[in-house]
Structure 1
Amino acid sequence: MVDMSGAEPDRLENFPVTFFAVMMGLLGLALAMAAAEKAAGSAGNVSQFILGTAVAVFAVLAFFYGLKLVRHPGAVLAEWNHPVRIAFFPTISISLLLLGTAMAPQVPATAYVIWSIGVAAQGLLALSVIANWIGHRSFQPLHLSPAWFIPAVGNVLVPLAGVDFGVIELSWLFFSAGLLFWIVLLTLVMNRLIFHEPLPARLMPTLVILIAPPAVAFVAWVRLTGDVDAFARVLLNTGYVFALIVLTQAPRFFRLPFALSWWALTFPLAALSVASFVFAHETGSYGHRMIGFGLVIVLSIAVATLVVRTAQAIRGKQICLPE
Structure 2
Amino acid sequence: MTDIATPHPHAAAPDAEPRLAHFPVTFFATVMGLAGLTLALHLAETRFAVGHIASRVALVVTILDFVAISVVYLMRSVAHPQAVKAEWHHPVRLAFFPAVSISLLLIATAAQAESPVLAGVIWAVGTALQGILTLAVISGWIGRRPFQPMHISPAWFIPAVGNVIVPVAGIPLGFVEVSWMFFAVGVIFWLVLLTLVVNRLIFHDPLPARLLPTLVILIAPPAVGFLAWMQLNGGQLDALARILYYVAVWFAAFVVVQAPGFARIPFALSFWALSFPVAALTLATLRYAALTGSALHEGFGLVLLAVLVSLVLGLVVRTLQAIVRNEICQPE
Which TM bucket (shorter chain)?
over 0.9
Q: 1:112-135 CA distances to partner (integer Å, 9 max, x unpaired)?
A: 111110000000001110111111
Alignment-derived partner of residue 3 in structure 1: none
How many residues are matched?
Answer: 318
Counterpart of 2:21 (choices 4, 8, 13) is 13
Structure 1 stretches of at least 4 aligned residues deviating more than 4 Å after TM superposition: none
Q: 1:236-260 CA distances to partner (integer Å, 9 max, x unpaired)?
A: 0000000000000111011111000
Aligned sequence identity (%): 56
Question: 1:283 Cα shift?
Answer: 2.0
Higher relative contact order (CA 8 A, sep 6+): 2
Equivalent AA in structure 1 for residue 164 of structure 2: V
Alignment-derived partner of residue 136 in structure 2: 128
3-state SS, counterpart of residue 249 of structure 1 = helix
Q: Contact 1:26–1:50 (CA<8 Å) still a contact in 2?
A: yes
Equivalent AA in structure 1 for residue 59 of structure 2: L
Alignment-derived partner of residue 47 in structure 1: 55
Equivalent AA in structure 2 for residue 265 of structure 1: L
Distance 2:312 2:33 in 1: 7
3-state SS, counterpart of residue 254 of structure 1 = helix
Does residue 177 in structure 1 map to residue 185 in structure 2? yes
Does residue 284 in structure 1 map to residue 261 in structure 2? no
Question: 1:50 Cα shift?
Answer: 0.6
Alignment-derived partner of residue 8 in structure 2: none
Alignment-derived partner of residue 260 in structure 1: 269
For residues 187-198 of structure 1, the aligned pairs below 5 Å read 187-198=195-206
Question: 1:287 Cα shift?
Answer: 1.5
RMSD value, Cα = 1.0
3-state SS, counterpart of residue 236 of structure 1 = helix
Counterpart of 2:220 (choices 203, 207, 212) is 212
For residues 100-249 of structure 1, the aligned pairs below 5 Å read 100-226=108-234, 227-249=236-258
Equivalent AA in structure 2 for residue 286 of structure 1: A
Distance 1:173 1:142 in 2: 31
Distance 1:66 1:287 in 2: 46
- Which 5+ residue runs of structure 1 have no aligned equivalent? 1-6
Equivalent AA in structure 2 for residue 54 of structure 1: T
Question: 1:298 Cα shift?
Answer: 0.3
TM-score, normalising length from structure 1? Answer: 0.97
For residues 59-78 of structure 1, the aligned pairs below 5 Å read 59-78=67-86
Distance 1:147 1:202 in 2: 12
Alignment-derived partner of residue 260 in structure 2: 251
Alignment-derived partner of residue 4 in structure 1: none
TM-score, normalising length from structure 2? Answer: 0.94
Alignment-derived partner of residue 294 in structure 1: 303
Alignment-derived partner of residue 306 in structure 1: 315
Distance 2:202 2:188 in 1: 22
Question: 1:136 Cα shift?
Answer: 3.1
Equivalent AA in structure 2 for residue 254 of structure 1: A
Q: 1:183-216 CA distances to partner (integer Å, 9 max, x unpaired)?
A: 0000000010011111111100000000000000
Q: Contact 1:193–1:199 (CA<8 Å) still a contact in 2?
A: yes
